[in-house]
Structure 1
């Protein structure tokens, strides 16, 4: 098999949702969307909620240990922390989020201006990163509230405008995304199809290449993600050293 063998060409992270309050008094992360990737949460500790805006309107889903939720591209989502919320995050199309498949719900004058968006989203370096992560979260919450209120009132125009602005923001960098999908999820699907057809012929020679893999513990400090402090696992095919 070419490329990482982790199931489905996905990525895996451990996420501690931010516990400080946004301007609306709600603790949690920065609302945002993914334009291509589907994301899943498996809650391992604590409690909270997932607030979403999609084609069916605004919704809040309670979260507790053992909860599993997932959302498709275009779903605006906000993780809400009501006490020690920690989760594992599974993301389709490994590499796409890092390549820019996410847009935060900043107000329209920022989302519609690539330079202003880049400035608002940047974390900078050193000790200022925590403060900038909080500021961009607060800005995204402001835009999220306006979108939510409009959708609840039956007005989809602001949501459609946000989608259009998000698409314009990622259009240039999205040209490289197809190769990530081909090398990851699509390559794995093709390999599975090839092995299925081989098994149907009674050919199981590939079983001799079986290997166990171990992901090393993520090193260093947790990064400042959009939803919280995040540790991403290295899922390259490293050999089991036992």
Structure 2
């Protein structure tokens, strides 16, 4: 397949962060991390926060309309909704999250068992999907609290264990990730290099292929995602 012309080989979606509260009283999404992809939030409405766990420990970043924040692979993140939080999400390496790049922070015994993880993450049939999304969010919040409390106390052991278990969980899937990167962001970068080289030679032929493209939002109701209800856009053209 040819590379998308959408900037940077990214994917685009519009996220309405979950409003319901987890057992700890925090309203928002399912904490998780991406193993390869960088994710960016451009806040369009509301108030909230991004709670993260990374190599520097636990952090909470305030979010409001106009905020722009991004986080690199390995950053465990939890979107917190404190009133009408809506976000444009840009995800690098388009296609990788759908191919299993994301791992939720379920309790350690679930993350260590591929069958248990798959059953816990699966939202199943459309009927009752909202309730199942809330249950998996609550389990991910439980696991997130264990990791957060440990790093705040100076103990990185549980975080390192989670990284190892997450890597083992997706190892087989990762065999195909290189293909997705080569076909999408890498192909786009190589095309840009070829165009730059062409201009240096005085060859402007590619300018005649200029086009305006418009993303088409997915029809129907928003999908249940990890952080909230998603309206996805097709930017593969």
Instruction: Give the TM interval when normalised to the shorter protein.
Output: over 0.9
Task: Give, in whole Å, the separation in 2 of the partners of 1:98 and 1:109.
Answer: 23
- Residue equivalent to 2:132: 132
Task: Give, in whole Å, the separation in 2 of the partners of 1:149 and 1:217.
Answer: 39
- Residue equivalent to 1:142: 142
Give unpaired runs (5+ residues) of structure 1: 238-242
Task: Give, in whole Å, the separation in 2 of the partners of 1:63 and 1:126.
Answer: 31
**CA offset digits 1:170-211 (Å, max 9, x no partner):** 000110110000000000000011111111122111100111
Task: Give, in whole Å, the separation in 2 of the partners of 1:160 and 1:128.
Answer: 34
> Could you tell me how far 1:126 is from its partner in structure 2?
2.2
> Could you tell me how far 1:2 is from its partner in structure 2?
2.4
- Residue equivalent to 1:229: 229
Task: Give, in whole Å, the separation in 1 of the partners of 2:109 and 2:2.
Answer: 43
Task: Give, in whole Å, the separation in 2 of the partners of 1:196 and 1:126.
Answer: 48
- Residue equivalent to 1:61: 61
Please, what TM-score do these two structures have when normalized by structure 1? 0.97
RMSD of aligned C-alpha atoms?
0.9
> Could you tell me how far 1:3 is from its partner in structure 2?
2.4
Please, what TM-score do these two structures have when normalized by structure 2? 0.99
* Secondary structure class of the residue paired with 2:97: coil
- Residue equivalent to 1:70: 70
> Could you tell me how far 1:236 is from its partner in structure 2?
2.3
- Residue equivalent to 1:207: 207
1:175 and 2:175 are equivalent in the alignment: yes
Q: Where do residues 1-242 of structure 1 align in structure 2 (5 Å cutoff)?
A: 2-237=2-237
Task: Give, in whole Å, the separation in 1 of the partners of 2:217 and 2:13.
Answer: 11
Q: Is this contact kept in 1: 2:112–2:165, CA < 8 A?
A: yes
Number of equivalent positions: 237
* Secondary structure class of the residue paired with 1:233: strand
Give unpaired runs (5+ residues) of structure 2: none
Task: Give, in whole Å, the separation in 1 of the partners of 2:213 and 2:109.
Answer: 47
Task: Give, in whole Å, the separation in 2 of the partners of 1:38 and 1:236.
Answer: 19
Task: Give, in whole Å, the separation in 2 of the partners of 1:122 and 1:217.
Answer: 24
> Could you tell me how far 1:75 is from its partner in structure 2?
0.1
